[in-house]
């Protein structure tokens, strides 16, 4: 242990601790802009500078290790003036349209500018000008709001291993961009949106579809149907002041109905449907010598990553559509037939924790009824903006329930949002299918938790089934390389593009860097889903009366010709330019 003083407060911390972390132990928050725990520690922004007795000049607290007897001062007049000057210099080359910015009131630069009493126009001079990149279906980059913190670069390179962005140029013309001046659509970007989540300003945002959805709702000829993903209920409350890890399912459904959607259904239902198809596909592959390991296909960011970086592994992907796409397909076929509605007049809006879903709905082979399965995909953040714009008092409204016939789900469907959830849900059905016996304990706790890679082995009848779960594309690479090298011991693999799974998706509420390093956001949101599962009467997808009705009235059985036509898809090897 190392003993030191911070602002004359005695502190004892392990050797190797930075001043930044030691200060937190002392009850002191040192501001940062570029720092992200375990991702980006480069001391570049100079906002976290402190005075260390005996040292020459200021020290960057995020990278400066403590030493025995050190005396640190974090709030001297010199330090306050230095931080204020740094922030004002950042503002001097920053597009100041805070009132209309998506990150207004959730911007770390804006927060610090207020706290330090900065004058946004104090330094005047030449500003870098650039046009926003609108080239993709899912993301907008506006470099005039960028402060060159390099958080997005770090998460893209170190966590997601795509490396499609970097700092280009030198000196005043330095900017974040892509090789050869390409636009984002010309890169092998997975579309995961993790860069949005770590950006401290509004330089990166999802491409909004709010106006498109509102236009459809106002069209009297359209039947507008909302479908909500599992993780949205675990994150939406944060936008309205609820603590991280609050389940707001009832209020969320009520708010959607107050927004005048004709029906509000639950994508948990088609998560259950995905399990029936996926478990059937896994059993067929195991019994009939199909390509193994089979890999889940629920995460569009992961699927896109594989198509770019591991196209040889496309045969390993499950051919099942994601729950989002199955939802749109079932609404425009089964539900349309049941209700006598022309699918041309149905407008399906998915509410997702993910920005890659905006790309997924544009993929080929996603039009079961002859029309796109999904018409619009909005993020958790976009739904919150719609609720606020409509003047709905979210914290005060009463709970409501999802509509039928696509509103009742099992516990297996809801845990899809957490890493390991798809695996556990599939095992609950696959084990009973393979053994023909009831599974008394439906919990497979070995695949739970936020660890990047999880492995387990289960005795299923005469078979030993080895499985693995990975979240974050850095971890996906590890498992893909094993398959490619012929060393993978698994029969079934779940992969989610986002670390922690969908609860930490690129469309979830923004969490500032300080909260990210002090609170396990992924675990708190995931707990919401596991708690729902634990309290749900039916916990296996194949037990769902809704799913039984869909097969009995329309699809026949899992893996049938009609099921493949409506619920399965295909993939393409993508050129990395």
pTM: 0.96
Domain boundary among 206, 239, 274: 206
As a whole number of angstroms, the distance between CA 265 and CA 100 comes to: 32
**Is there a single domain that holds both residue 123 and residue 190?**
yes
**Is there a single domain that holds both residue 115 and residue 49?**
no
CB-count exposure of residue 243 (10 Å: 0-12, 13-18, 19+) = exposed
Domain boundary among 22, 43, 75: 75
Considering the domain boundaries, does residue 253 fall inside one? yes
**Is there a single domain that holds both residue 301 and residue 434?**
yes
**Is there a single domain that holds both residue 67 and residue 98?**
no
pLDDT at 577: 60
**Is there a single domain that holds both residue 63 and residue 138?**
no
pLDDT digits (tens, 9 = 90+) for 249-259: 999 999 999 99
Reading the block at residue 404, the tokens are 């039928």
The string over 147-170, giving b where at least 16 C-beta atoms fall within 10 Å of a residue's C-beta and e elsewhere, is bbbbbbbbbbbebbbbebbeeeee
pLDDT digits (tens, 9 = 90+) for 140-187: 999 999 999 999 999 999 999 999 999 999 999 999 999 988 999 999
Considering the domain boundaries, does residue 228 fall inside one? yes
**Is there a single domain that holds both residue 19 and residue 109?**
no
Q: What is the mean pLDDT of residues 468-492?
A: 97
Residues in the chain: 577
What CATH number does residue 175 fall under?
3.30.70.20
Query: Please, which pLDDT band fits residue 71 given cuts at 50, 70 and 90?
Result: very high
Count how many domains the chain has: 3
pLDDT reading at 448 higher than 70:
yes
Enumerate residues 6+ apart whose C-beta is below 8 A from 146: 175, 176, 201, 203
**Is there a single domain that holds both residue 389 and residue 477?**
yes
- Which residues span the domain enclosing 297? 211-567
Considering the domain boundaries, does residue 296 fall inside one? yes
């Amino acid at each position: 242990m190392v003993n030191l003083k911070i602002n004359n407060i005695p502190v004892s911390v392990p050797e190797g601790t930075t001043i930044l972390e030691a200060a937190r132990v002392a009850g002191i928050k040192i501001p940062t802009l570029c720092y992200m725990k375990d991702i980006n520690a480069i001391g570049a922004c100079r906002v976290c500078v402190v005075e260390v007795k005996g040292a020459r000049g200021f020290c960057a607290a995020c990278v400066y290790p403590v030493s025995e007897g050190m005396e640190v001062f974090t709030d001297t007049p010199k330090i306050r003036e230095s931080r204020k000057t740094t922030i004002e210099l950042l503002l001097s080359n920053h597009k100041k349209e805070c009132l209309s910015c998506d990150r207004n009131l959730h911007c770390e630069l804006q927060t610090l500018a207020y706290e330090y009493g900065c004058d946004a126009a104090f330094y005047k001079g030449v500003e870098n000008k650039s046009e926003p990149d609108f080239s993709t279906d899912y993301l907008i980059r506006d470099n005039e709001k960028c402060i060159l913190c390099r958080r997005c670069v770090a998460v893209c390179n170190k966590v997601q291993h795509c490396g499609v962005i970097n700092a280009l140029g030198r000196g005043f013309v330095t900017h974040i961009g892509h090789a050869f001046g390409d636009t984002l659509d010309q890169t092998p970007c997975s579309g995961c949106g993790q860069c949005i989540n770590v950006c401290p300003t509004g330089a990166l945002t999802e491409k909004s579809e709010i106006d498109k959805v509102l236009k459809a709702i106002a069209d009297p000829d359209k039947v507008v149907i909302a479908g909500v993903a599992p993780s949205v209920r675990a994150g939406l409350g944060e936008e309205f002041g609820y603590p991280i890890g609050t389940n707001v399912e009832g209020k969320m459904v009520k708010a959607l109905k107050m927004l005048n959607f004709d029906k509000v259904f639950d994508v948990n239902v088609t998560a259950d449907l995905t399990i029936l198809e996926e478990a059937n596909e896994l059993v067929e592959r195991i019994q009939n010598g199909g390509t193994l390991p089979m890999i889940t296909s629920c995460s569009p960011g992961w699927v896109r990553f594989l198509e770019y970086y591991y196209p040889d592994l496309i045969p390993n992907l499950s051919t099942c559509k994601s729950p989002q796409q199955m939802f749109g397909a079932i609404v425009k076929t089964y539900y349309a037939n049941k209700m006598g509605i022309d699918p041309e007049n149905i407008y399906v809006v998915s509410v997702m924790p993910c920005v890659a879903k905006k790309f997924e709905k544009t993929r080929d082979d996603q039009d079961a009824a002859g029309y796109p399965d999904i018409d619009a995909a909005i993020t958790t953040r976009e739904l919150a903006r719609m609720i606020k714009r409509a003047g709905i008092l979210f914290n005060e409204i009463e709970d409501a329930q999802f509509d039928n016939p696509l509103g009742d789900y099992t516990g297996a469907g809801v845990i899809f949002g957490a890493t390991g959830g798809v695996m556990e849900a599939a095992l609950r059905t696959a084990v009973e299918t393979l053994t023909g016996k009831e599974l008394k304990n439906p919990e497979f706790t070995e695949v739970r938790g936020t660890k990047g890679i999880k492995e387990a082995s289960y005795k299923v009848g005469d078979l030993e089934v080895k499985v693995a779960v990975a979240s974050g594309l850095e971890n996906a690479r590890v498992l893909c390389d094993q398959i490619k090298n012929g060393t993978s011991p698994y029969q079934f693999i779940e992969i989610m593009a986002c670390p922690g799974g969908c609860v930490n998706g690129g469309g979830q509420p923004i969490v500032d860097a300080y909260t990210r390093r002090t609170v396990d956001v992924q675990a708190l949101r995931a707990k919401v889903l596991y708690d729902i599962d634990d309290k749900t009467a039916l916990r296996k997808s194949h037990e769902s009366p809704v799913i039984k009705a869909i097969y009995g009235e329309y699809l026949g059985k899992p893996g049938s010709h009609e099921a493949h036509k409506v619920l399965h898809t295909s993939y393409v090897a993508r050129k990395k330019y």
